[in-house]
Structure 1
Amino acid sequence: MSDCDRSMNINLLKEPVFRKLCVELDKNNIKGWRKLGEMVGSDRRLKVSSEEMEMCSLKVLQLEGSPSRMLLRLMGERGCTLGQLVDILQTMGQTEALKCVKPPSIQILIQPQSVSILSGHNLRLSCYAVGKTDVHYQWFKTKEEVPNCSSPDLGVSPVRPVDAGFYICRVNCGESYEFSQWAQVDVLDVAPSYGLVSHSLQGRLKVAIQPQAQKLFLGDCLQLECGAAGRPIPRYLWHRNGVPLPNAIKRKLTIQYLSMEHQGKYRCEISSNNESTWTNEVEVVVGPRISVQVSGAMECSEEDFYELGPIGASEFMLNNIQEQPYATDKVALLIGNLSYHNHPQLKAPMVDVYDLTNLLRQLNFKVVSLLDLTESEMRNAVDEFLLLLHKGVYGLLYYAGHGYENYGKSFMVPVDAPNPYRSANCLCVQSVLKLMQDKETGLNVFLLDMCRKRNIHDDITPNIVLRVTANIVFGYATCQDAEAFELSSNGLTNGVFVKFLKKRLLNDEKITVLLDRVAEDMGQFDATKGKQALEIRSSLSERKALTDPILPGDSSDMALAHNRQWAKAHELPESMCLDFECGAKIKMGFAAEFSNVLVIYTHIVKKPADMSLCQAHVTNFSPDLDVDPKVMNRETPEDTGIYFLSSSLPQHCLYTRLSSLQKLREELVFTVCLQGTFTALDQVVDWKTDVNIGKPLIARLDLHRAMRRNSCLQTCLMPHSPCHSPCHSPGPEHLHPPQLHAQGPSPTNLSLTPPCHSPYLDVCEASQGAVGSYCSSTPYDNVSQYQYGVTSVPSALSTSSLGRVSIPIETTDDINELQTVFINSLHLHE
């Protein structure tokens, strides 16, 4: 059945055609797979649900993931025919995708085949095609054309290691062209001692490179290599102690950080077509990288260690050396509350959260950074944070804002807390710790940048029974019954705690040692000496550090599910181009400043020649969002309150900042307005179009909802006791005492002011200019210097690379991926 048969199910399309179709729909933003999903929504039989569209979008997290492929497969399973698909693509105006399903004018009869070959042998790749007229051939190695090769056969004699790589042939017929499939050439640089002669390649699969036994030390990098000659190129699967290793499917096996569990016997299974063979089995011994005194007399060094032999070495290590600590994953939740409804406003938490986000990302933490959360939003955010934790994970919670401490329990104050507040209105840190313990985490770190004054309005003692577990670390920005401060400055600046913490955070030191050094640094700061001192509480029983490597555990499916959950809250809308009837075109892009703060930038990329004035702006946003119309569509990021991304955003755009995305209840729909004046008309003409970008970033998690019935946080909630006290703010005499270095309100005033409200600290520090690597030096207006009713704690920023969702994707030498990348580049050289 031909590909042009309209009655054929699209799942029966040939794989090369299907692959090209997916490439076109994946790369096209406006007329891509999302638009296709919307178009089939009118057909009840083919309709794809929002949940299924979401699963399609998550395919971008996979190395070979294609949202279009999953969408088309779903449509095919529901009976979509090629004719229906062609009609939909024509309605969309998707001409490039239509070309993929039209009958080709060139047919490639023989495709080049991948091969693994020994250095010094002769290489030959073949591609034969027929067309309506004469065909011509061009061979490429990756993106570079192979010189002097226009025949259907590509020959290299003799082949050398530098000839290894990916090859493709372009067949030209008139104005049409067709690309062959990719062929990988793997050249094995084998010494003559292996004894393989040229005729050996004509027989069965031959192992040419055997792995070698190794003796390494804890923390070293293990590299094992094997290789076999054959056509097609062989497949590899490494085994340790007879058990297959997941994802170990390449010739070279690399383990970056060795631990004791990596010791054992390794061999590789090599297969090609219906034939398979094995390499030799080799032993990998892992030893300590220290000198240890044995029996009080003999010193055992690294060199002497291996003289003990494999068994003796293992026993020696178990008895005398501790394993290198590692995490199965690293997850951080950063919350910065500054815009309080009934309490003094803070400024440093935003800067602190941003700085810590960037630093924790460098330590490979998955970071969620949130600003200004209400009680229900905080509880739901912690609930989502707990979903990312499992056995061996390093979990870090940073909070900056107002807070207090009663009876040894610490409480974080949401932005909507009444005045005065009680435990029923706040989140107890120890209740979060209890739930983290239940996840069997490898390390629990709490960095609390908040005041620890007693709350005289709250006499409830929460009944929270913690398990006796190790590896818990509390870093309090100030001592018990004391206040934490943020600095007064003419520009963006940190709180006192983060000012010193960010200088040490990347150090490869035990976490308690790192915090000790921060405490020493703070102790030398004259402005807060005698007012604020870092306090550390720890049950650390191992040398755990934030720099410890990540070695995923056995539960790979669970880890993947957690990665998807994290990525779900960090998916940015795709950039898009909007075409207007007048001929103007607007490009629109998106960036994330925090996990709940979205930046929209627009730029007019094309305007009609007869249009003298052309302007565009965005408007009509959901009332759920915190958007100030006065600072929308500004010409510089700083004018609209975007201080941290100003250096990474494209220039010559209009910028709009949308905060409080966690409050978004429906999909984000807004209007793009274009205004233009033509030379032949005096009046201004308007064009409008609505844009729907779904639920971006943290809005996907619906944190705005009331506390979820199945929330694990409910196991530790205190009974609510409604507060009937009237709201009142502290008077000027409390905020501006005559001596600006006052410690806090006097006992007679404590009944009038919530205990977390503290007077200004008279610290006038020069503007620090750029904060981190992205912060603009544009000042805040009238930045004040509240003592933190709750000290500012840095929250994590949501995007690792600030343009697209910051989800690290490992590079690969897979043929399918290269097909997409390189064919697209070759098209550019038309």
Structure 2
Amino acid sequence: MAGSLPIHLLGEPLLRRLSVVLDRAAPGKGWRELAQLAVSHGRIKLSSLELEQCSLQVLEPEGSPSLSLLRLMGKKSCTVVELVQFLQTLDQPEALQYLSPPGIKIVVQPDPKAVLSGQMVKLCCLAVGHPFLHYQWFKQTKEVLHGKSPELIFNPVKVSDSGTYICRVNSGSSFVFSRWAQLDVYDLQGVSYGSLVGVSENKIRICTQPQSQNLKVGDKLILECHAVGNPVPHYQWFRNGLQLTNGNRKEYMVSSVDMEHQGTYWCRVSNDQDEQESKKIEVMIGRKALAVECTEEEFSSFGKPVDLEEQSDCKLSAVDKVALLIGNMSYWNHPQLKAPMVDVYELTNLLRQLNFKVVSLLDLTESEMRNAVDEFLLLLDRGVYGLLYYAGHGYENYGNSFMVPVDAPNPYRSANCLCVQNILKLMQEKETGLNVFLLDMCRKRNEYDDTILILDALKVTANIVFGYATCQGAEAFEIQHSGLANGIFMKFLKERLLEEKKITVLLDEVAEDMGKCHLTKGKQALEIRSSLSEKRALSDPIQQTGSSAESLARNLQWAKAHELPESMYLDFKCGVQIQLGFAAEFSNVMIIYTRIVKKPPEILVCNAYVTDFPLDLDVDPKEANKGTPEETGSYLVSKDLPKHCLYTRLSSLQKLKEHLIFTVCLHYEYPGIEDSMDERKEVNVGKPLIAKLGIHHGFRKNCCMSNRPFHTQASTPVAAEYYLSANHCHPNSYPGIHHQNCVHSDHLRQPEACHCNVTLNKLTSRQEAWNNASHVRRNNLPVETTDDTVDLAFGFSNSLRLSKKQ
């Protein structure tokens, strides 16, 4: 577990010792070669501009290129294990000795705890091996200021203390990390301190009981049961006496309920010492009204012309609502982006609340994008609302917008990209009730592409809305911070998307919000184009059409792409039983987790790993079987996954050509036997999620292929970066996971009337870096069985980076 930590957590003294060795290393073994190894490894991205900034450290009195590089690699999540591998390749024994912890051994590991607020709580880590040991506790990746002793004491413990903790023990340059310990702290709800007097600390006490609910079809169901006890309690939800699949978390959630979800629910809470059941509650499901009716009193209060218009508006509805969301980040030949992952995830959750059938996809190649659009068109029909959202690199030439796939060459032209106007024409042929395009990309001209497309004329219809994240000829930006990011457009859109307003009115208000914020003023402004003549809204109800052939086909096609494998239990000959579970993060991203359910007492320790995945998925073994979801790159659904498991994140499921077959390997040890034992079981879970649609195939219809160009000319898109430091936080912005470098200079005070009052520090052009850099090649649709994620409460911190989508 310690080897998976970012290297900047090793501490400044140790990093300085390593940098001294690398600075004075022989040719071929220094910091430049270390940087080349890190880049060739594929996961860590270092631009030529960043490496140049490292080399310029030699001009500083006490500057060190190696120290600058190590800090930079740490910020980019380079782990201790990866650094050791790089140093071994460079044959750097002197540097490696600093990373070898001889003699230090942790004899008491911190235990996870679930406690009530107001109590005194201790997390303990005790090590032996050196006469002088130093301790430092971390909460996630942030140092705990008072955590410099073997015991981390909270007196009293607060709900805000909840989190994951780890302890670093070091003596000089040697160090070792403890295992992670989860601390869950709950407020008292109906439980008094007096009722706990004389009660064994092992006894389970339920402090948050589930509550009965009356819901409509399509509403979200959230049931909560929180308990304290030692050891940490486990949870299992039941409905009508039957155990719920994947109902093994504190919260049980269904994103969109149907009549089948009605019934009696309760939760069983247990540990090795005790077992308790929550109170039984009823969940009632009613039919959602299909239209809003005007009363006689409301009708008589209006003037007649307005009455008829308003009455007509009340009856507007959709036959169905379908959305395709594409977020491209991991470009092979172009700058990487961060915001599309968070933006697509958040928009998926919002649209599902509006009863949209959502397909959410990350990092698609050109053929995959075209085939995904084909599948999207199959879900459209007369009267259906269709929404296409794209976040990634893009450009606009002669009024046509182009979305750039992740495999686009450098430079790219219209033949390598998807033309949005072509997709609109195909949507019109379906006679859709509403066509909405939300394009979160740049709209600057691509000087490499001087193509004038000859497109068939669009039909004259009054059902088209374009929401461009930025104006024509301008750039779109994303706020990068601590490993996660939000696009400027989505930051403001998500605050209003659920409002029951005409879509153009809603977008107008988003544009006004963006205009009030100095973070975007003069850089990015929302542009709206619309031919909408009716009061159509994303919140319009769906008019049930019974079991028509079109409706059944559409439901089947959508459901086909969102089937998760059922959770299963595997029994091994040694008597160990493990649970193999699955969760969806996006329509093409799945989390696999393994957990030991039963272990014979004669077995000391055992762990279950998943391995031998199909080559199509290109799963890095170093990124699999991690102790926390965040270590796999899954920050968005981590809170709703079961704890104390090993997690593996499978992205790009659209590339899966055959069934997903992998191996579950069980390692276990018996007392008195040095060698560990292992058993293996092969598992076939078919084609999960989007893999069933086979969009990895070559162009099938070429339905959205651009017309061939008759003239091209080359030039270079410009790239830029803006660095900002926040003074005041917007209440609905995002916190990050990893730290990001900030540049501070030239402070300019912004007016305090802004919603996101910020100080603009430095504007750095990256055009030169774009021209010279050698770019190296280098994923949400939770359903009931995947346990939807609670929204992340991100926030602007003291270091924000505003960067451009090319």
TM range (shorter): 0.5 to 0.7
After the TM superposition, which residues 530-541 of structure 1 pair with which residues of structure 2 at under 5 Å, given as runs?
Answer: 530-541=522-533
Asked if the contact 2:404–2:417 (Cα under 8 Å) also holds between the matched residues in 1, the reply is yes
Relative to structure 1, is the Cα distance of residues 781 and 639 closer, same or farther in structure 2, using a 3 angstrom cutoff? Answer: farther
Q: Secondary structure at the match of 1:486?
A: strand
Query: Deviation of residue 686 (structure 1)?
Result: 1.2
Under a length normalisation based on structure 1, what TM-score does the superposition of the two structures give? 0.54
For each residue in 1:654-680, what CA deviation from the matched residue of structure 2 results, as whole angstroms up to 9, or x when unmatched? Answer: 111000000000100111111111114
After the TM superposition, which residues 26-45 of structure 1 pair with which residues of structure 2 at under 5 Å, given as runs?
Answer: none
Aligned-pair identity in percent equals: 59
After the TM superposition, which residues 292-303 of structure 1 pair with which residues of structure 2 at under 5 Å, given as runs?
Answer: 292-293=303-304
For each residue in 1:601-631, what CA deviation from the matched residue of structure 2 results, as whole angstroms up to 9, or x when unmatched? Answer: 1101111211112111111111111422212
| 2:664 is equivalent to residue 672 of structure 1 | yes
Q: For 2:392, which of 384, 398, 401 is the aligned residue?
A: 401
Asked if the contact 1:493–1:767 (Cα under 8 Å) also holds between the matched residues in 2, the reply is no
Asked if the contact 1:473–1:538 (Cα under 8 Å) also holds between the matched residues in 2, the reply is yes
List structure 1 runs of 4+ shifted beyond 3 angstroms. Answer: 26-30, 61-65, 253-256, 284-290, 316-323, 719-723, 765-773, 780-789
For each residue in 1:446-490, what CA deviation from the matched residue of structure 2 results, as whole angstroms up to 9, or x when unmatched? Answer: 000011111242323232310000021000011111111112323
Residue 797 of structure 1 aligns with which residue?
Answer: 780
CA distance in 1 between counterparts of 2:458 and 2:728 reads 42
Relative to structure 1, is the Cα distance of residues 782 and 564 closer, same or farther in structure 2, using a 3 angstrom cutoff? Answer: farther
Residue 461 of structure 2 aligns with which residue?
Answer: 469
| 2:302 is equivalent to residue 291 of structure 1 | yes
Residue 762 of structure 1 aligns with which residue?
Answer: 722
Query: Deviation of residue 560 (structure 1)?
Result: 1.9
Larger Rg: 1
Asked if the contact 1:487–1:763 (Cα under 8 Å) also holds between the matched residues in 2, the reply is no
Query: Deviation of residue 780 (structure 1)?
Result: 6.2
Q: Secondary structure at the match of 1:761?
A: strand
Q: Secondary structure at the match of 2:638?
A: coil
Residue 445 of structure 1 aligns with which residue?
Answer: 436
Q: Secondary structure at the match of 2:495?
A: helix
Query: Deviation of residue 319 (structure 1)?
Result: 11
Relative to structure 1, is the Cα distance of residues 777 and 420 closer, same or farther in structure 2, using a 3 angstrom cutoff? Answer: closer
Residue 459 of structure 1 aligns with which residue?
Answer: 451
After the TM superposition, which residues 190-229 of structure 1 pair with which residues of structure 2 at under 5 Å, given as runs?
Answer: none
Query: Deviation of residue 256 (structure 1)?
Result: 4.5
Asked if the contact 2:322–2:380 (Cα under 8 Å) also holds between the matched residues in 1, the reply is yes
Residue 575 of structure 2 aligns with which residue?
Answer: 583
CA distance in 1 between counterparts of 2:730 and 2:520 reads 23
Query: Deviation of residue 379 (structure 1)?
Result: 0.6
Relative to structure 1, is the Cα distance of residues 29 and 392 closer, same or farther in structure 2, using a 3 angstrom cutoff? Answer: closer
After the TM superposition, which residues 445-524 of structure 1 pair with which residues of structure 2 at under 5 Å, given as runs?
Answer: 445-455=436-446, 456-524=448-516
Under a length normalisation based on structure 2, what TM-score does the superposition of the two structures give? 0.55
CA distance in 2 between counterparts of 1:665 and 1:486 reads 34
Q: Secondary structure at the match of 1:358?
A: helix
| 2:621 is equivalent to residue 629 of structure 1 | yes
The residue type equivalent to 2:706 in the other structure is M
Q: For 1:718, which of 689, 706, 718 is the aligned residue?
A: 706
The residue type equivalent to 2:413 in the other structure is R
For each residue in 1:423-461, what CA deviation from the matched residue of structure 2 results, as whole angstroms up to 9, or x when unmatched? Answer: 111111011111111111111100000111112423232
Query: Deviation of residue 586 (structure 1)?
Result: 0.7
The residue type equivalent to 2:527 in the other structure is E
Query: Deviation of residue 421 (structure 1)?
Result: 1.0
Q: For 1:350, which of 341, 345, 352 is the aligned residue?
A: 341
Task: Provide the aligned C-alpha RMSD in A.
Answer: 3.9
CA distance in 2 between counterparts of 1:450 and 1:759 reads 13
Residue 600 of structure 1 aligns with which residue?
Answer: 592
Relative to structure 1, is the Cα distance of residues 692 and 338 closer, same or farther in structure 2, using a 3 angstrom cutoff? Answer: same
Gaps (5+ residues) in structure 1? 1-22, 31-60, 66-142, 145-164, 166-249, 261-283, 295-299, 301-315, 726-749, 790-795, 807-830
Relative to structure 1, is the Cα distance of residues 781 and 684 closer, same or farther in structure 2, using a 3 angstrom cutoff? Answer: farther
| 2:557 is equivalent to residue 565 of structure 1 | yes
The residue type equivalent to 1:591 in the other structure is A
CA distance in 1 between counterparts of 2:314 and 2:504 reads 19
Residue 376 of structure 1 aligns with which residue?
Answer: 367
Q: Secondary structure at the match of 2:627?
A: coil
CA distance in 2 between counterparts of 1:783 and 1:424 reads 38
Q: Secondary structure at the match of 1:603?
A: strand
CA distance in 2 between counterparts of 1:768 and 1:648 reads 30
CA distance in 2 between counterparts of 1:665 and 1:289 reads 62
| 2:403 is equivalent to residue 412 of structure 1 | yes
For each residue in 1:42-84, what CA deviation from the matched residue of structure 2 results, as whole angstroms up to 9, or x when unmatched? Answer: xxxxxxxxxxxxxxxxxxx99789xxxxxxxxxxxxxxxxxxx
CA distance in 2 between counterparts of 1:661 and 1:786 reads 36
Residue 304 of structure 1 aligns with which residue?
Answer: none
CA distance in 2 between counterparts of 1:29 and 1:705 reads 33
CA distance in 2 between counterparts of 1:787 and 1:327 reads 46
Q: Secondary structure at the match of 1:779?
A: coil
Q: For 2:548, which of 533, 545, 556 is the aligned residue?
A: 556
Relative to structure 1, is the Cα distance of residues 481 and 672 closer, same or farther in structure 2, using a 3 angstrom cutoff? Answer: same
Residue 34 of structure 2 aligns with which residue?
Answer: none
Residue 642 of structure 2 aligns with which residue?
Answer: 650
Asked if the contact 1:447–1:475 (Cα under 8 Å) also holds between the matched residues in 2, the reply is yes
| 2:329 is equivalent to residue 338 of structure 1 | yes
Residue 778 of structure 1 aligns with which residue?
Answer: 737
Relative to structure 1, is the Cα distance of residues 522 and 612 closer, same or farther in structure 2, using a 3 angstrom cutoff? Answer: same
The residue type equivalent to 2:291 in the other structure is Y
Relative to structure 1, is the Cα distance of residues 621 and 765 closer, same or farther in structure 2, using a 3 angstrom cutoff? Answer: farther
| 2:304 is equivalent to residue 257 of structure 1 | no
Q: For 2:423, which of 427, 432, 439 is the aligned residue?
A: 432
Residue 86 of structure 2 aligns with which residue?
Answer: none
Relative to structure 1, is the Cα distance of residues 776 and 602 closer, same or farther in structure 2, using a 3 angstrom cutoff? Answer: farther
Gaps (5+ residues) in structure 2? 1-238, 247-256, 262-279, 744-763, 771-778, 790-806
Q: Secondary structure at the match of 2:370?
A: helix
After the TM superposition, which residues 50-449 of structure 1 pair with which residues of structure 2 at under 5 Å, given as runs?
Answer: 255-258=289-292, 288=299, 291-293=302-304, 317=308, 322-449=313-440
Asked if the contact 1:346–1:401 (Cα under 8 Å) also holds between the matched residues in 2, the reply is yes
Relative to structure 1, is the Cα distance of residues 513 and 704 closer, same or farther in structure 2, using a 3 angstrom cutoff? Answer: same
Asked if the contact 1:259–1:286 (Cα under 8 Å) also holds between the matched residues in 2, the reply is no
Relative to structure 1, is the Cα distance of residues 764 and 805 closer, same or farther in structure 2, using a 3 angstrom cutoff? Answer: closer
For each residue in 1:678-712, what CA deviation from the matched residue of structure 2 results, as whole angstroms up to 9, or x when unmatched? Answer: 11422111111111111000001001001114xxx
Query: Deviation of residue 801 (structure 1)?
Result: 3.9
Query: Deviation of residue 639 (structure 1)?
Result: 1.1
For each residue in 1:565-614, what CA deviation from the matched residue of structure 2 results, as whole angstroms up to 9, or x when unmatched? Answer: 11111111000011000101110110001110000111011112111121
Aligned length: 489
